[in-house]
Structure 1
Amino acid sequence: MDDMRRTEVDGLRVTWRLVQHHLIAIVAVDNACDASPIASFCPSNYPDLALARELLPELARLWDAVRHEFWTRLFPPMPLATSERVLA
Structure 2
Amino acid sequence: MRERRTEVDGWVAIWEIDHWHIRIMLVRSLVGSARPLLKADVSGAVPDLADMRERYPNLARLWDAVRHEYWAEVITPQEHSEGTI
TM-score w.r.t. the length of structure 2 is 0.78
Gapped regions of structure 2 (runs ≥ 5): 78-85
* Corresponding residue for residue 40 of structure 2: 41
Same amino acid, percent of matched pairs? 44
Which protein is richer in helix relative to its size? 1
Q: CA deviation at 1:55?
A: 0.9
Q: CA RMSD in A?
A: 1.6
Distance 1:29 1:62 in 2: 10
Say which SS state the counterpart of residue 30 (structure 1) adopts.
strand
Q: CA deviation at 1:35?
A: 5.7
Gapped regions of structure 1 (runs ≥ 5): 78-88
Mapping of residues 12-23 of structure 1, within 5 Å: 12-19=11-18, 21-23=19-21
Count of residues in Structure 1 that have an aligned counterpart in Structure 2: 75
Per-residue Cα deviation, 1:12-67 (whole angstroms, up to 9, x for no partner)? 10011111x21110011112245632222222211110011011111100000000
Distance 1:34 1:46 in 2: 25
Q: Which has the larger radius of gyration?
A: 1
Matched, 1:65 2:65: yes
